[in-house]
Amino acid sequence: MLDAILMEAQGVPAIAIVTAPFRETGEAMATSWGLPGYPFLDMPHPIANLTAEELDARADDLAKGVARWMEDGAGVRRPSAAASRATRRSPDP
């Protein structure tokens, strides 16, 4: 999640991907960095026990989600002031 926020602060469109149990954690992290509502994709958990074919299928689904996100214009937004500050500070306690 933080990698995506820091990339956006540099003007690079980015989206974070998390497994479903970490969605709430991702939302909290984005909020703590001053970006409530920051978009990210989630996928079912766990992934460690998947076969290569199953993992490829999930990756294909995620790629479709990223494409939709980019087509909707979310992937070309300008970095916010909060995202720019993210490169200079640690998150709020």
Residue 65 covered by a domain = yes
Classify residue 40 as exposed, middle or buried by CB count within 10 Å of its CB (0-12, 13-18, 19+). Answer: buried
Residue 88 covered by a domain = no
Whether 40 and 1 have beta carbons less than 8 Å apart is answered as yes
pLDDT-above-70 percentage for the chain: 77
> What is the mean predicted confidence (pLDDT) over 15-28?
89
Residue 82 covered by a domain = no
User: Does residue 57 surpass a pLDDT of 80?
Assistant: yes
Residue 85 covered by a domain = no
* Residue 39 φ then ψ, to 5°: -75, 140
Please give the model's pTM, rounded to 2 decimal places. 0.64
Residue 92 covered by a domain = no
**What band does 78 get if pLDDT is binned at 50, 70 and 90?**
very low
User: Does residue 75 surpass a pLDDT of 60?
Assistant: no
Residue matched to tokens 């290569």? 52
Residue 11 covered by a domain = yes
- Look up residue 6 and give its DSSP letter: H
What total number of domains does the chain contain? 1
User: Tell me, what's the pLDDT at 72?
Assistant: 77
Residue 87 covered by a domain = no
Whole-number Å distance between alpha carbons of 32 and 92: 6
Average model confidence (pLDDT) across the chain: 79
Domain that holds residue 22: 2-77
Beta bridge partners of 19: 43
